[in-house]
Amino acid sequence: MVSRARSTLWPWLIALALVGPALAAPEIEVSFSPEEPYENQSIRVTIRVSGDGALDARLDGSPPRGDGLLPAGRPSTSQQTYSVNGRTQSWLEYGITYVPQRAGLVSLPSFTFITAAGKVETEPISLEVREGSAPGARAPDREAPLPLEVVVRPSARSAYLGEKITLEYVLRDGGARPRGIEPDRLDPLPGFLIEDDELDVAATARETTDAQGRPWVEYTLFRRRLTPTRTGTIEIPPVEIRTSVPRRRRDAFGSAFGFERYVPVSLVARGLAIEVRPLPEDGRPPDFEGAVGSFTLRAKIPEDARVGEAFQLELEVSGEGSLDTLEPPELVLPPDLQAYEPVEGPRVARKRTWTYPLVARAPGEARIAAPSISYFDPGFGRYETASVGPFSVNVLPGRTRTVEAAREGPAPGGGARIEELGSDLRFVEAAPRRLVSRESHLGQRRVYWFAIGFPFLALPLFAFALRLASIRAASETGRVARTLRDARRTLDEASQTSSPEDAARCVVRALHTWCGLVIGEPSRPLERSRLRRALEERSGDAELASRVVDLLDRAEAARYGGADPGSLVDEAGQVITQGTGR
């Protein structure tokens, strides 16, 4: 059990021995320059973190604000790695510029750095800031004070919420002849909407003189238009500007021949605080939308228009202030005048333009109420309303000729010419009395196609049926005629034969032929009484039926020498003629 525990611990002990030295806390030291700064002189604070893992060190949070010291510009870092007696070491330098806010004792709290070994802190720094006139920025070689400074000039130290403030950073040159500046763009400022003007710095040069009569040249480096977005005191931090100035060489040749070299110079524009006041509640118009400044409203509208043809009302708002928050003014129009969505023109400095397309629907005078915008004028400290108008437009009849005009005669000049001034969508249609879906129609119903096809199918069938009936009727008539003809032919044979027996047989056969025709079945097998009933039923003539049966009996008897066959033949002919009507 013990040996097993040892084997488990060994790798951990080896790893600790290897990693242990790397986790040693790095050293940290802090220095600042100059050690006895003047009131308006920037102080460069340099913090060096050295030792293993120093390259990974980073400041915990942002640079701290001191008591009487404010950070200016962005921090810089540099690092180096070197080897001494086979052992590699490295350091990281962190530099930041501070600007004193007052004379006397000022202090900075600790800087905390996070390294792989944990957090390391500097000692708090205290230093004495000397009172008195600032000697100006000095070049690193400290030969002489430079006649060069950067000042910040706000248009106001206090403003209303939404009121624009202009902030100018001005480089004052009393003969130092600086070359190039850094940075070329300033950082955003929390609490403000910022518009930075694009400036040609050289073109902003302006000559001035100070109280001692010394000439200075002023260059506007940056011009920022700040719109406060919250109330209270908003601090604008100092800004560090880096440039370079020419210095004469200190060696004998340089001094003798006037050779110059450029050396970097750091200048600091002081920070300042802006007091932002809320807009007053008293007198705030209901249509106020947050515009602060001083504005004027102009309008352009034609005096005449025609029915159905578009014309334009152009509104222009100009002035100093927050134009961006403005919405296009709403128009109050008569019912016969229709306005479409306004189109905004290109934005130029301190000016916005909206164009309203209008279409008149009826002739006559159309009056448009004065459009207006409400804003807060910080100069007077009260709400104002800018308006223009009202306007009156003389609406003429449309160029399309009316029916009444057509009745009066031809239009002058032919009346067919029009001058097209523009085009627009034609207007929507009014709702019809019935709204029918066009995708559903009769053709989608099978029964419709049956109704279409029915006559084409039924008519030939009807004609065929009629023809068939006709044929059948003709066929029945022929059969009757043939039967009667056979019966009569048999009677003719009877009258021509010399044998009385044969004559009587022919009469019997002819009568049976006729009876079969009448009753629809062979009559020979039937008894006489049944034959009589059948004949009576079919012919409806009882006397005829009795006469036929009697005649048959007598003809049968004549076959064996009874009655005279000649009279039988005549009588049978009469019966057939009477029974068939032919």
Partner 1 sequence: MMRLMSIPVAWSTILAGLLLFAEPALAGSPVEDLSRANAAYEAGRYEEARESYRTLVDAGLHNETLYYNLGCAAARLGRYGEAILAFRRALRYAPGHEDARANLEWVRGRADEAGVEASGGRQLLERAAALMPLDLGLAGGALMLNVAALLAALALLRRFAPLRRALIPAAAIGALLGILLLAPALLQLWLRASERGAVVLDARLEARSGPGEAHPTLFSAHEGLEIRVIDERRGWVRVAVPSGPSGWLPCEGIGTVAPDRLSCAGERRGKGISTR
Q: What residues line the site for partner 1 (CB under 8 A)?
A: 338-341, 423-443, 445, 447-448, 451-452, 454-456, 458-459, 462-463, 466
Residue among 331 and 386 whose Cβ is closer to partner 1: 331
The CB-of-580 to partner 1 minimum distance in angstroms stands at 25
Q: Please report, for residues 476, 481, 544, 576, the alpha-carbon distance to residue 538 in angstroms, rounded to integers and kept in the order given.
A: 16, 18, 11, 14
The CB-of-334 to partner 1 minimum distance in angstroms stands at 14
The CB-of-425 to partner 1 minimum distance in angstroms stands at 5
The tokens describing 309, both together, are: 């043809």
Residue among 382 and 472 whose Cβ is closer to partner 1: 472
Residue with tokens 């005629």: 481
Q: Please report, for residues 290, 373, 385, the alpha-carbon distance to residue 286 in angstroms, rounded to integers and kept in the order given.
A: 11, 11, 11
Residue among 1 and 431 whose Cβ is closer to partner 1: 431
Give the Cα separation of 72 and 572 in Å (integer).
Answer: 155
Give the Cα separation of 293 and 320 in Å (integer).
Answer: 6
The CB-of-328 to partner 1 minimum distance in angstroms stands at 13
Identify the CA nearest to 62 among candidates 37, 96, 90.
96
Give the Cα separation of 553 and 487 in Å (integer).
Answer: 18
The CB-of-470 to partner 1 minimum distance in angstroms stands at 9
Residue among 205 and 452 whose Cβ is closer to partner 1: 452
Q: Any bridge partners for residue 98, and if so which?
A: 43, 71
The CB-of-577 to partner 1 minimum distance in angstroms stands at 30
Residue among 23 and 442 whose Cβ is closer to partner 1: 442
Residue among 252 and 425 whose Cβ is closer to partner 1: 425
Intra-chain end-to-end CA distance of the chain, in Å? 146
Give the Cα separation of 572 and 570 in Å (integer).
Answer: 5
Identify the CA nearest to 40 among candidates 271, 336, 286.
271
Burial class (CB in 10 A: 0-12, 13-18, 19+), 319: middle
C-alpha 88: how far from chain center: 61
The CB-of-166 to partner 1 minimum distance in angstroms stands at 38
**Torsion sign (Cα): 243, 245, 251, 253:** positive
The helix-helix angle for 500-519 and 446-496 (nearest 10°) equals: 160
The CB-of-368 to partner 1 minimum distance in angstroms stands at 16
The CB-of-469 to partner 1 minimum distance in angstroms stands at 10
Give the Cα separation of 471 and 465 in Å (integer).
Answer: 10
Q: Is the peptide bond before 183 cis (omega within 30 degrees of 0)?
A: yes
Residue among 6 and 446 whose Cβ is closer to partner 1: 446
Residue 121's Cβ-side half-sphere holds a number of Cα atoms within 13 Å equal to 8
Residue among 290 and 398 whose Cβ is closer to partner 1: 398
Residue among 13 and 442 whose Cβ is closer to partner 1: 442
- 27 contacts: CB under 8 Å, gap ≥ 6: 49, 50, 51
Residue among 189 and 332 whose Cβ is closer to partner 1: 332
Give the Cα separation of 357 and 363 in Å (integer).
Answer: 17
The CB-of-461 to partner 1 minimum distance in angstroms stands at 10
The CB-of-442 to partner 1 minimum distance in angstroms stands at 4
Transcribe 150-179 into DSSP letters: EEEEES-SEEETT--EEEEEEEEESS---E
- 9 contacts: CB under 8 Å, gap ≥ 6: none
Please answer whether residues 71 and 15 qualify as being in contact, where contact means their C-beta atoms are separated by less than 8 angstroms: no
Residue among 114 and 310 whose Cβ is closer to partner 1: 310
Residue among 259 and 449 whose Cβ is closer to partner 1: 449
The CB-of-343 to partner 1 minimum distance in angstroms stands at 12
